[in-house]
Every structure is written in C-alpha cells, then in structure tokens.
Structure 1
Amino acid sequence: MKLERLLSIIILLINHRMLQAKDLAERFEVSVRTIYRDIDAINAAGIPIVTYQGAHGGIGLAEGYRLDRNLLTNDELAEIVTALRSLSTSYEKVQHQQLMEKMNSIVPPNDVEVFQSKTSRVLIDYSPWDHSTRLQEKLKCIEKAIDNCLFIVFTYSDAEGKLTQRTAEPHTLILKGRHWYVQAYCLDREQFRLFKLRRMKSLSVDAEASFTRRTLPKQKQISGKQSSSSNNNEVVLRFQRDVRHLAEDWFDAEELVPTEDGAWLVKKAYPEDEWLYSFILSFGFHVEVLEPVHLRDVIAERAAQIIKMYQ
C-alpha cells in the first residue's frame, strides 16, 4: 500500500508543478506527517524533490525531471497503448501512432510477443458507422484552436433546431456517449457551454486574435445534455414479447421485468425533450409508453403526424 502511494505521489508531482502536503494527505487519507515521511523516502530513492516555502509554497519535483521507463510495468504500458488504439478509432492523429511505436520500442525483446497479445485483447471502437470525414475535420480545426488559444466561430443548432451564431474560446474536446463535444467559453452567453460537434456548422478559426485560457468550472460529471435529476421523469416502456433483443441493446438484462403476457417492462428516468421522443419512436410499433400519460399523448400525436405525412 505504501509503495503504491509513493508511486502515485511521484506521478502526481510529474503532472503538477507543485502540490500542497495537506492536499496530498486528503487525497490519500493519511496525515500530513505521513506525507512528509513519504517525501523523504522518495528523496532517498534518488528522485529530486523540492519544497517551496511561503503562503503559495508546496512540494514539487526538480525542474527537468522526467519519468523513467522502469516506473511503468509492461502491463501499464499495454493499458496505455490499448487506450491510444481505442481513441484513434474516432480521433485520428499521427502523434497517437508515433507514441504507440515509442511504447512498443521500450518493451524488452523477450516480452514483445506477450506485450502485443495484451494490447490486442481489447479494442473499444468509438468510430461512427458513417465514418464521417467532416467530423475529423472539425476535430482537427478545434484542436488547432485549442493549441494556439484562438477563437472559433460557428453556427450552432440547438436541441430545438434554433440556429444561432457563436464565438467561443475552446478549452477541451470531450468524447461522451459516442458523440464529440467541445467545452468552450461562449462569448455570446458569457459562460462555459458544451457544444456538440455534429450541431456545429460553418466552423472556422479566427486567427486574428488569441485568448487567455480561463479556469475551467468544477463539475462532478460532464453531461452533453444540459439537464439535472430534478427535471427527470420516470418513464415506463412496454416491449413486445418477441423483441427483447431490441431492449437489451439499450438496457441491462436486469432492468427488463417480465409480464404475465410475455412482454417486458422497463422503468427509467429521463429528461423529457426531443431526444426522448425520437428515442421512443425509433422502436416503432414494438414499444408502448405506459407512463406518464401525457408522454403517451405526445408519442401518439407524433405517430399520427408521421402517418399523415406518408398518406
């Protein structure tokens, strides 16, 4: 346990210029005195630690120190390569391939076969079915803007289809739920917003001026849907008896409750919006909304509009 804590402290110090002892103590649930003993042990192992005095002081690594390959096991390297391979399915980047080659090059020759086996056990494919080149172009455009602190200008279509012209400071690209978002400070709304890349049109980088990166707002969970549990409604769906496989594409088997007539019930809390209506309608006549009653009416009305359109 102590060795794991020591390695974790080293990695934290590599990734942060300076940390406070009390913050490390809270993170690892030990006393400040224990943290200082750990720091002494790290120093004794030959890793240069520097302490800064004063109100804004703390603990850091000597400038220029880099992580030695021996601190990463082959299993840890394999996990990194697996993550890079998975990310590359949706976000193609030359640097990813170069980094994977570097990782492979530092594996001892006797371990190469086992290492390659471990890195090919799992692949999480994030790529969309349509393999859109436009998405890749947007990713590269936004990444360029983030790297150089340049503004992005675009037309945005919100969940209701309303178009607005936006200028924003891009900070972070986020992949969540098979969709890409950019967390950016919107100059028009004067706050941080999440923009879905597929809803961004006429995207361009304004190279005339740059911005200073802001401190990102603290948030427990990043959500592409700007909603909270307070506006969620419990929805009860009834799947027909012969389409359980459709339900299992979206819900865990334990969430499916059998009925006496062989159908399957699912109870789930959702925010009510256009996404929910489209989600339910995507199952066609295989699914019936049982609750809430007003949602039944909404789906019935939309189904009637679909019938009218095809008549």
Structure 2
Amino acid sequence: MKLERLLTMIMILINRKKVKAQELADLFNVSVRTIYRDIETLSCAGVPVISQQGVNGGISLIDGYRVDKQVLTKEELTSLSIAIKSALTTYEDSHAKAVLEKITSVADDNIKQSIDQLFIDLSPWGQNVLFKEQITLLKTAIEHGKCVSFTYSTTHGRITKRLLEPHTLVQKGKVWYVYGYCILRGDFRLFKISRMKDLKEELTTFQRKEVNLSELPWDKEWHQPQNVVDLTLSFDSTITTLVEESFGAEHIDHEHSTIRISIPEDEWLYGFLLSFGHRITVIEPPHIRQIVQERATEIVKLYKDLQ
C-alpha cells in the first residue's frame, strides 16, 4: 500500500539521513519514478524532503525533523526489536526490516543500547543458505495462500511426494517445522523442514482452514497415548546437570540416580538415548532396552568391520 510505503520511507530517512532513490525502489519493489512521485506526495503533505543530484546526492530530510517517540515505551520498543532481529536470522522479510527501521529511527541511545544487550540467533551454525531459502519460500507461500510441493523423508527412510497447504511455521526446540494440511493424508501434519527436498511453491491456491494454534495441535498429536512410552532410566551421577537439562529436574530422583518420564517413542528417542553412551541405562520397558542394545551392537560391529 502507498500509505505504508510513505510512512516507512519517512522512518528510513529519519534513521539514515540520506538514501539513494534506487535503494528505496529496490526495497519497495517499485520504479525510481514511483519513488520520486512519493517524494512529491510527502512534500505536498508538509514533510520536508530534499532530493540532491550527483555522486554524493540522495534523498534526505531537513535536519531536526522528528516524529513522536511516545507511541511505544522503551521496554516495548526493545522487546519488539529483539523479536524482529531474531526472526530475520532465519528468513528474509522486507516488511520486518522496514519495521525495524521505524523502531531504530525513533529509538534514543539508551534504547539502542538495551536492544544490543540480547541477541537471539535462530539460524543454524554455518552459512546454511538453503535452509534460509526454504524458510523464506514457506513464509511467502503461507502469506499468499499457495500450496507447496516437496519430497519428504521419514525417520524410517520412507520417501513420499507431498502437496501441502502450509498454514504455520513452527520452531520447536532448535528445530523448524511447517504445519499444514497434507493433501496425501487428508489431514493436518507437521513436517520437519530439514527433511523436505525439492521444495517448490505451486500455482495452486487454497483457503486457510480454521485451526486453533493456541492449543498447540502438533503437541497433542505428539503426545497421543498410543505414541507415548513410560521410561525408567538410571544415570551416572557425573552427568547430573546434563540429565536435568535434557529431561527436566522434575523427572529425576537424585537419591537413586533414576529418571522416570513419559515420552513419545520413535527413532529420535532411540538416538537420543544412545547419545548418552554408557552413562545412561534403560531399566524399563524391556523392549526399549532391547532396541538400544541392538543399535549399540550394530555400531560396534560397524567400526570393527572398518579395522
């Protein structure tokens, strides 16, 4: 919308002092001619915009021009800025960047200092360009109501072709998922983005379905009684801190160095238990103990065969 573009332009000029017309055109995905028309509109509205030609030229505001800084409190500005900066570590969003520009333009030095005191980087280690592209594509598809197609690999290695009506991006723990209506299964499903290959936005559109996200529907599916197992584990006291972080202190009996917890059973659980090596032992149930033992034996055999 033009009004939103004009407001954002004012905030950018307050913050940066001078900006090239081409840079604004690229930011808003419009022509340079449109930017100059916007400048005329702002001038007619009483906003003191200056346009200078030449190598060091650009668009700027008369020194001293300000906007009201009391729209949000210092704490609100700080919290909003931190949230936006965190989101931008995982995907590209010109609107979020524009909002951050607006906040920075009205923030005093104390607010800017508070913002820099906490930075939440949600991106994986290293320059994972593909991951950021996937997140950006999914976010765009959700906003535009477009279906996406992809090849999906389950924990058991089964590969299927999926067509999805994406509804919501979900970060659970350190992992990103997309929650949406799967055409193949005829129901809502949660897909781990790292297992999605050949992700594409399709021309097919969809009407968003009513979903109460405040109830965390993916959690309900995860903790269905048929998927949950009651675990009893013993652990080496030298890893007490790690055990508390991994399972939660409320599930630990420190006197007997045991853990009792109800948790969904799948391939992730087996790998998770194996990650503790010899410092955790499965007491109950017997079938989990048997599975972990078999996996450990396979690992030992694999490395023996390499000798």
2:188 aligned residue: 192
RMSD between superposed Cα atoms in Å: 2.4
Q: % of aligned pairs identical? A: 35
Alpha-carbon distance in 2 for matches of 1:95, 1:235? 46
**Secondary structure of residue in 1 paired with 2:120:** coil
**Structure 1 residue 92, shift from structure 2 partner:** 4.2
1:293 aligned residue: 286
What is the TM-score when the length of structure 2 is the normalising length? 0.69
**Structure 1 residue 186, shift from structure 2 partner:** 1.4
Contact 2:81/2:115 (<8 A) preserved: yes
**Secondary structure of residue in 1 paired with 2:242:** helix
Change (3 A) 1:226 1:136: same
Alpha-carbon distance in 2 for matches of 1:123, 1:105? 19
Paired amino acid for 1:86: S
1:182 aligned residue: 178
Paired amino acid for 1:165: K
Change (3 A) 1:228 1:253: closer
Contact 1:196/1:224 (<8 A) preserved: no
2:268 aligned residue: 275
What is the TM-score when the length of structure 1 is the normalising length? 0.68
Contact 2:232/2:283 (<8 A) preserved: yes
Alpha-carbon distance in 1 for matches of 2:97, 2:105? 12
Give CA deviations for 1:124-172 in whole Å, capped at 9, x if unaligned: 3322234422111111222232232222111111232211111122222
**Secondary structure of residue in 2 paired with 1:86:** helix
2:206 aligned residue: 211
Change (3 A) 1:242 1:288: same
Contact 1:151/1:167 (<8 A) preserved: yes
Change (3 A) 1:214 1:163: same
Change (3 A) 1:176 1:268: same
Paired amino acid for 1:220: E
Unaligned 5+ segments in structure 1 are 1-67
**Secondary structure of residue in 2 paired with 1:250:** helix
Contact 1:184/1:194 (<8 A) preserved: yes
1:73 aligned residue: 73
Paired amino acid for 2:99: L
Alpha-carbon distance in 2 for matches of 1:297, 1:134? 38
**Secondary structure of residue in 1 paired with 2:80:** helix
Give CA deviations for 1:209-251 in whole Å, capped at 9, x if unaligned: 3233333356612436842252322212222122234324414
1:91 aligned residue: 91
Unaligned 5+ segments in structure 2 are 1-67
Alpha-carbon distance in 2 for matches of 1:114, 1:219? 35
Contact 2:223/2:263 (<8 A) preserved: no
Change (3 A) 1:187 1:146: same
